[in-house]
Structures are given as C-alpha cells and as structure tokens.
Amino acid sequence: MMPIPTNLITGFLGSGKTTAINRLLEHRPDGERWSIFVNEYGMVTVDELLIDSECPEVNVQELGGGCLCCTVAFAFDAVFSQFIRRSKPDRLLLEPSGAGHPAALVDKLRDDNFRRAIDLRATICLIDPEDWSKPQWRDSEVFHDQVQMADVVAINFTDKRDPELTRQCREWVESFDPPKMLIAETDHGRIDPAWLDLQGTVVRPPKFGEAHAHNHSHAADHVDAGGLTSIEVPPMLGKPKRIENEGDGQWACGWIFSVDEVFDRDQLLDLLGYLQPVVRLKGVFRCQDDWWVINRSKNETSFSTTAYRRDSRLEIITDSPTSGWEELEQLLLKCK
C-alpha cells in the first residue's frame, strides 16, 4: 500500500480549523476518499458534527476527552490505526485540539507504527490576529509552537481584523526559524488545496515540546479506551451528564442531555449567543422544528440544521475559571 498523503491542520481554539477543512472538502477530487481525524480538547465531543461528511467518500473520526499530547495519547494508536483500516483514505487530514501541542502528534506519525503508512506533508497552521494580539495567548508556549512547527501559516479573519494588526502578526510569523514555506492572508478559512502538497517541508523541532503535557488536569476517568466520552447509562430527562476539565489556562465544561429533551431554539440562541466569558462554544440540540448545531467562536455565532439524532450536547471552553456551570445548566434546562 502506498503511504497516505497526510496533513495536519493546526491552530488555536477558534482560529477556523474546522471551517478550513470544510472548505478543502469542497475541492476534493471526484472519487477520492478523504478521512478526517479530529482531536477535541473537551470531554464531550462535538467537532465531528461540524464537518460536512454526508458524502460517502468522506469519513470522520473524533478522539475526545483531552489532547493527544497527554490524556488520550494512550488511545491514539489503536483508534487511529482502526480508522485508517476502515476508511482506506486517499488523503488524510488531522485536526489536533486547538489547546494541544502538535509535536506529540508529529512524533506519533513519524514513529515505527505509522511511518510506512503515512506520507506526512505540509502542516498548515491558522492564526487569528486577534489571538496574537493578546499576550496571554501570544506568549503561550503551545501557541508559539503551533506556529513554530507549521510549514504554512494562514492568517485568517483578515476581512474582520485591523490591517495594521494583521501586518504586525505577519511580521511575527516571519521571524520564525526555519522560515515558513508560505505565509498567506485569508478569510473564512479559505485554504488553497495546492498548499497541502507543497514541496520542501523540513523537520521543525518545537521550542517547548514538553510545555503542554505538564499543565493539564483532564478528567481522565471519563475517557474510555476509544478516547470518547463514556456514557454507561444514557442521561435521564432533566438530569444531563456534566463533565469538566481544565489545563494550560483553559477551562471546559460539557453536557450531554437526554434525547427526549426538546429545547426552544430562540431561547437557546439568546442564552448561548451572548454568554460570557467564552473562547469556544459548540453544541447540538433537539428543538421543536429540527435538530440544530450551534457554533460560536469568540463573539461570532452561527446556527445550522444537522442530521445528528443521538442526543443533545454542549461544550464550552473559557479562559478563566468559573463556578457558574450548575447555574448555566439550570438555565439550559429552562430553554424549553
């Protein structure tokens, strides 16, 4: 079997990775099988629902419950190998957690277990200039190494950010060594498919390879052998399953609600569209008229229908601790 052309699509929380993957899928050559492997920071997996995988030639696998560099590293080999065997892709895209360090994943793909099966090509990192402008993120060792290890850096949201801020962000990226193969400015997650196969990639050692793994306190007891949130008993009506985790300056809380819970879409939008503080918010809810996905990055919120029907679920990531999860849960249950 020929090695599978493989790319990492990295970037911080809310930088537009999932949107970029959906954009790339629009350019998938007819007849090619593409597989998407997503690692989600939170314990309640939602990202898989945001990727357009209705086409039978597109397969998506999500490994939730923590970052590949620490909590779910033990599960990666088995889950990833099984996914490759099942989906038999012509192209493989991996989206690491926005809170995670890409070095561990790169090492995995280059070790003896995968190097014969994987042809690791360009790593593409998306940056939001607004994140770069905040010292707590710009000075983060994980944020730094996401850029350090990228062959291509796409500065996203340029249609919504101050041009001077974008210019300064670009200058910062240009200071990295080895230099990038390409630095591009884009919007709406637009990635040129040609970037996936750029020639001349080099080994880019991280500067802070161990930074992330020592700063995590995931709720590992909720992660099963597949790395997915373990629900031994389905949630009862009015009693959702709530799971929290935190690390590296971020706090997350996820809920899984009974499939019989029916929500009011307008009330949900009013509550979740303006909730603060939020770095990332993703959810799927059964409403009176349909099932809806809510996707919020910072202060931008979108709603869309989905074919998902298993349960309602929500994941929120913040950059500050809060004691308000119980109160929010009660407000969610009132959105009916």
Annotate 85-104 with DSSP letters as a single string: HHH--SEEEEE--TTS-HHH
List alpha helices for the chain, DSSP H. Answer: 17-25, 47-50, 73-87, 102-110, 129-132, 135-138, 141-148, 163-174, 265-272, 325-333
The chain-wide mean pLDDT, for the chain, equals: 86
What is the C-alpha to C-alpha distance for residues 150 and 171, in angstroms, rounded to an integer? 16
At 82-140, the pLDDT tens digits run 999 999 999 999 998 876 778 888 888 888 889 899 999 999 999 999 999 998 888 88
Domain 241-335 has CATH 3.30.1220.10: yes
Return the residue matching tokens 């200039």: 129
pLDDT score for 74? 65
Joined tokens for residue 255: 């809920």
pLDDT score for 264? 96
Q: 4-210: CATH homologous superfamily?
A: P-loop containing nucleotide triphosphate hydrolases (3.40.50.300)
Joined tokens for residue 304: 């869309």
**175 CB neighbour count, 10 Å cutoff:** 9
Joined tokens for residue 148: 């350090």
Residues of the chain with pLDDT below 70 are: 41-42, 48, 64-74, 99, 209-233, 247-248
Our measurement of the distance from residue 55's CA atom to the centroid of its chain's CA atoms, rounded to an integer in Å, reads 21
Q: Check: CB of residue 135 under 8 Å from CB of residue 21.
A: no
What is the C-alpha to C-alpha distance for residues 250 and 222, in angstroms, rounded to an integer? 18
pLDDT score for 73? 63
- Domain ranges (residues) in the chain: 4-210, 241-335
**327 CB neighbour count, 10 Å cutoff:** 10
